[in-house]
Structure formats: C-alpha cells, structure tokens
Amino acid sequence: MSIDIVPLGTASAIPTRERNPSALALVRKGRILLFDCGEGTQLRLLEAGLKPTRIDAIFITHLHGDHFFGLMGLLSTLSLMDRTEPLTIVAPVGLYSVLCDVPGLNVEGLGFDVGFRELPDTLQHEVVFENPGYTVEARPIEHRTFSAGYRFEEHRRPGHLDPERARNLGVTAHADFRALKRGEEVRVNGRVVLPEEVVGPERPGQSFAYVTDTRPCENGRVLARGVDLLYHDATFTETFHARAVETAHSTASEAADVARRAGAKRLLLGHFSARYTDASPLLEEAQSVFQNTEVAEELKRYLL
C-alpha cells in the first residue's frame, strides 16, 4: 500500500524564504495524519495538493510556537469548510486551555467534534491513535520542555498468495482467492484448501518515526527501531555541537547515529537552523555515519 511522507515545514524556530515552520503530513489511502502544525501549515497543505478536510489526527510534539501556532488557523478553516467528521488532536497537556483562550476560536463550537488526547509530562509510552489498519504511539524525548516523539506503524499484513499453487489445488474462483488471502479456508471439488497451503508468512506493515525537537536519546532510538523512514531533528552540524546541547537539539551526525543504532532503513534530516541556507554540510556529515540519508525537501513526496 502506498504511503507518502510530505514535509511541509523543515525550519527550526525562525522560518526562512525557503523553509517554513515545522509540519509534516503522512498520507495513507487518501487520509492524512499531520505531525506538528507550525504557522502557515494550512497554506503548505494546499501547495502540496492535500485537502485539509482529509486530516484524521494531528500530533503536536511540544508547546513551542513554531510547532503549533498554525493550529488555530487550521481549525478555523476546517469549521468554515463545514467539516463534520471528528478530529483527534494529540499534544502535551496545556494545548486545550491555550486554544480555549484564543479570541475568535470557539473550540467547543467548531461544528465538528475535536477529541483532545493530552499527554502528561509523566508519559512513558502510550498508543495515542489507532484504527483497523495502524497505530500511532508516543514516547517522551529530550528537549527543553516536555516533548513527545511519535511512531506510525501499520498492522502486520497477510503474506503473499501463490496463485499457481492455489490453481494446482483446484482454486479458480476470484472469491476463493480473496478468501484464502484473508486467511479463510475454502472448499474446492470436495477438498478443503487451507490458507497456509498457498499463502506465505505475514509481512510487517510499513512504519515511520517523527523525532523532533530532541537531543539524541534512548526513546528516540526505540521509536525509530527498524522503521522504513525516520524523520529526525538535525538542527546543527557538529561545528555547533555546544549550541545543540544548550538548546536541546541534535546535530546531523547525531541524527544519523540514532538511525544507525535503531536499524532504520532511511533517514530524513529536518528542523534546520536558519544559518544553513545550503543544507549540504548537514547531509555530508550525516552520510558519513549513515549513508541512506536525505535532506527533507518541503512538498516533496517520500514513498515508504
């Protein structure tokens, strides 16, 4: 199944002409999960060709403005678009009260239900959103204020069906092929054909981790363990390592080390300091540690 990761904003605290505040969309079956919602996110969604009405849940990492100041405008727009579907917002404790205090934004009167799932600073690990196809879990990561990282993971998928083997056992009807794929036995010519005779072992679902803003930490590695794609804070190069420690961010080589230790398949660097008009030093540094690294390009679609 096709899943696209679309970075919408890759700047750190200060946006630039080329980079917007933090936001990223995961697109699956035409539905959207939004990670962070910095200022201007709704415009970036439009520029990416993504419909805001298709957002099912929004996951905020922490309550620094460059990660959630776009949420007020997005909620207002969804109300004006007559949205009726419920929306889930996962965020650290305090966001709900902030939104309730925004003049002109009536959180309780938007016209659609908003389910707030607020994460306490005592969080250890929690599945914060799920549907029949996948789960999203949260773990605390290490920043100047309480911050959460997130991991999206599809449920395990059925194994591959061997159609030739099934036909040799007498299976010809499309409905029977589908039933076997679902794990159901079928009866053909007086004989029962079992799924395990023609279907291979279950396959892991696709996975993605969103780990920013943070110092390299154990929970970041746990969230990234074996993922198909990791998006990680890479605010600085090692030249500014002391600044990374001071501000509780990561360097590009530290992000790459997290990916390497976690066994991630691919790494996307993001959350860049405004000092880097050219991100090639960040990329070069990271690739010296973890070769399968890319610099996140805003509005580009990355296929899991």
**pTM passes above 0.85:** yes
CA separation, residue 45 to residues 10, 248, 298 (Å):
14, 29, 11
Tell me, yes or no, whether 10 and 93 share the same domain: yes
Domain of residue 246, CATH code = 3.60.15.10
Q: Which of 198, 225, 258 finishes a domain?
A: 198
pLDDT value at residue 214? 97
Are the beta carbons of 105 and 96 closer than 8 angstroms? no
Catalytic, 113? Answer no
CA separation, residue 69 to residues 42, 65, 232, 274 (Å):
11, 5, 21, 19
Distance of CA 242 to the CA centre of its chain: 29
pLDDT value at residue 185? 87
The per-residue b/e assignment along 103-116, b for 16 or more CB within 10 angstroms, e otherwise, is eebebeebeeebee
pLDDT value at residue 2? 87
Does residue 121 have a pLDDT over 80?
yes
Catalytic residue among 4, 36, 56, 66: 66
- Quote the domain boundaries for residue 193: 163-198
Report the domain count for the chain: 2
Distance, in Å, from the CA atom of 83 to the CA atom of 81, rounded to the nearest integer, reads 6
Segment 242-268 shows an average pLDDT of 98
Q: What is the pLDDT of residues 198-207, one digit of tens each?
A: 888 878 899 9
Q: What is the pLDDT of residues 56-104, one digit of tens each?
A: 999 999 999 999 999 999 999 999 999 999 999 999 999 999 999 999 8
Q: What is the pLDDT of residues 9-52, one digit of tens each?
A: 999 999 999 999 999 999 999 999 999 999 999 999 999 999 99
Tell me, yes or no, whether 149 and 183 share the same domain: no
Q: What is the pLDDT of residues 236-246, one digit of tens each?
A: 999 999 999 99
Tell me, yes or no, whether 172 and 141 share the same domain: no
Tell me, yes or no, whether 223 and 74 share the same domain: yes
